[in-house]
Chains A and B, each alone.
Chain A
Amino acid sequence: MSHYEVKPGPEAFLPPAAASMGNVLPDPGEAHIGGKIVPEEEAYDKAARMILGAKVPTIFPGPLVLWKWTDHVAEKAKAIRELAIEAPMRIIPMADYRPKYPKIEAAVEINPNHPNLTIWHNKIDVCIFIGVHCHMANLSLKIIRGGTSCYTIAMCAMSGHEDACLSFRDADLAMIEKLKATIKKLKSEGVESQAIPFTQFKMSRSGPIVPA
């Protein structure tokens, strides 16, 4: 069995890929927490508690949910926004995968080539990757684990991510709604969000619109 625990960093100058350390992805109906395979139900509870306990919980939606390429995606995007409002969580998009040069606008965007810059700038302590192509998500997750102390959650529509601290697989609309419902339930039981109050920025074609 693998003994490699996937936990928040900063871990190393170049942390290993968890798959190369022997970690295996969950099967349908399962998730992983820290590299340990668990029933999906357990992961909802852990993810919800991590989100509620964070000061700057943030969702990083990727191109797969930012662009309406199917009707299902539009439904997912709406559910992600509702999840963000329920928690509450910031939304910082990973709109595309090009490295930003000469400088990223770390307050309003994240990029897989240097995701650590956005996390450091915003002091993000828990994040969710959703709608990011798996290769790019794994690229980011390793860099984040290497250089930041952010707890990473992946809601992957495919097979999941060993390089996240917690990963779901086959994440569809129902699973996003279930995570929101779990957060709502915990809040009704008295678990309070520790998020620092914020106003979600909005973007125009020419750049961020400063919140009123």
Chain B
Amino acid sequence: MNKQVELKNKRIIASKHVKLGEKNRMGQTYTDINDIFYNSEQTPNFMTGSEVIREAIKRASVGTSVAYPITPQSEAAALIGEIYAEGYLDEYFRGESEFAVMGQCAGASFGGHRVFTTTAGPGTLRAMENFPMWAGSRLPIQVCVTCRGINSPLSIQPDTLEMHYLLETGMLVWHAETAQDLYDFILKGFIVAEQPDVHVPIAVCCDGFFVTHTKDTVDLSPLDKCLTPYDPYRNPQPVMDMETAPIRMMRDPFVMKSNYISYATHASWQQEIKAAVERSRKHTIPLLDGLIDEENIDREILIVGSGTAVSQSREAIRLLEAEGIKVGLVKIKTIRPFPYEEIRQATKNAKHIFVPEFNVAGWLAREIKANIPDNERVYVGPHVAGGMTMPSEVIVEEIKKHLGMEVASRGTLG
């Protein structure tokens, strides 16, 4: 289905924003994304993922951010409040619930602001109705999802099940492995999501606590350079204010009318949102250096993963290597668009494909199984869920067990 977009020159088409080169009220210069990442010195800093979110938003020329507390994103939301007080954002306030927050984000985005918010776990689910609404309205809002458990009895610990619910909302869904990814994805995500041919919302996901609450070394771009502001005149459709032409669609007999025409329009509309997600490949590939990263994919055993499951897999691969078992790795950076062709190519020589995940459903393995030939090669797991950690030794054990190798005893009772 999907063509692999070529990396022509590893640069996204440069911004022509009228404010390029001008300074904002904080003294930051509006700078093309290419110059921010590829022509500027990146300085290492040691900080938590929440602090990284704050640093990215300082440089993102965000107009509005709306906050609502829910662990583990509360700290990031509070830190954005602090930089609002310093003058980095135009608007910041607390919503009444996650559902209200996402509606308020929509209003700010309809009004022409660049909008950022954060949520997690049950908050993501409570807000869910808004996400396809954002996409259908072509609102390029960014929500940072710091994944945690969603089900009762509540767990505040990391679990990526909520990402499964986001997959068909029409949003771009990117999955950060590290705090560095998180920083890069937030800034680059705005640029990709706001391209006129894309112009859909983006969920930048990370695994809560593992990324948000641990410290890591992150290379930050200079604080005196920030993204060019959102340009609402590059919106592929006029604001749907529901009252005024040219797009008073909701109040006219269209949505409510049951006839063939309204169904056909809805179908074409839904296709267009999916098409917009596909179009993002062209802009994402140069900025993220591909939708996947590959290491030793010529090996017969491969691990394919996303998020912190990749970090755990790297260590598992090192442990296996010490025993003479060679394993390759594919890291998936974008879940939507899903890198179908890239994964088909990367896994073509593999005989055994393992997909470790931090959720009970195994949705990533399902996506992969649905899109590669000879999918009996895919081993769905290992899984952990509900906030469990995934020790590298568990990945090692699962691979060895599956391959019929001897596994060290876990010990017995009595």
- Contact: B246 with A63, CB < 8 Å? yes
> Smallest CB-CB separation from A23: which chain B residue?
B3
B34 to chain A minimum Cβ distance, whole angstroms, is 15
Question: Residue A10 at the B interface, CB < 8 A?
Answer: no
Contacts of B254 in A (CB 8 A): 98-99, 101, 113
Question: Residue A159 at the B interface, CB < 8 A?
Answer: yes
* Complex Cα gap A104–B88 (Å): 49
Given the known interface contacts A98-B254, A99-B261, A134-B237, the answer about A22 and B271 at a Cβ–Cβ threshold of 8 Å is no
* Complex Cα gap A135–B238 (Å): 9
- Contact: B274 with A20, CB < 8 Å? yes
- Contact: A17 with B272, CB < 8 Å? yes
Given the known interface contacts A21-B1, A22-B3, A159-B196, the answer about A135 and B279 at a Cβ–Cβ threshold of 8 Å is no
Contacts of B322 in A (CB 8 A): none
> Smallest CB-CB separation from A19: which chain B residue?
B275
* Complex Cα gap A14–B271 (Å): 10
* Complex Cα gap A195–B238 (Å): 34
- Contact: B245 with A158, CB < 8 Å? no
CB within 8 Å of B: which of A83-126?
Answer: 95-99, 101, 112-114
B196 to chain A minimum Cβ distance, whole angstroms, is 4
Contacts of A63 in B (CB 8 A): 238, 246
Contacts of A2 in B (CB 8 A): 3
CB within 8 Å of B: which of A1-55?
Answer: 1-2, 14, 16-25, 27-28
Question: Residue B269 at the A interface, CB < 8 A?
Answer: yes
CB within 8 Å of A: which of B227-271?
Answer: 234-238, 245-249, 252-254, 257, 261-262, 264-265, 267-269, 271
Contacts of B238 in A (CB 8 A): 63, 97, 133
A168 to chain B minimum Cβ distance, whole angstroms, is 14
- Contact: B252 with A17, CB < 8 Å? no
Given the known interface contacts A22-B2, A97-B247, A98-B249, the answer about A17 and B271 at a Cβ–Cβ threshold of 8 Å is yes
* Complex Cα gap A183–B1 (Å): 37
Interface centre among B1, B5, B248 (most CB of A within 10 A): B1
Question: Residue B10 at the A interface, CB < 8 A?
Answer: no
> Smallest CB-CB separation from A16: which chain B residue?
B271
User: What are 17 A-B pairs at a CB distance below 8 A?
Assistant: A19-B276, A22-B1, A24-B279, A25-B279, A27-B13, A63-B246, A96-B247, A97-B246, A98-B248, A113-B254, A114-B261, A114-B264, A133-B238, A134-B196, A159-B279, A162-B275, A163-B275
For the complex with contacts A98-B252, A146-B264, 4 further pairs of A-B residues with Cβ separation under 8 Å are: A1-B3, A17-B274, A114-B265, A159-B196
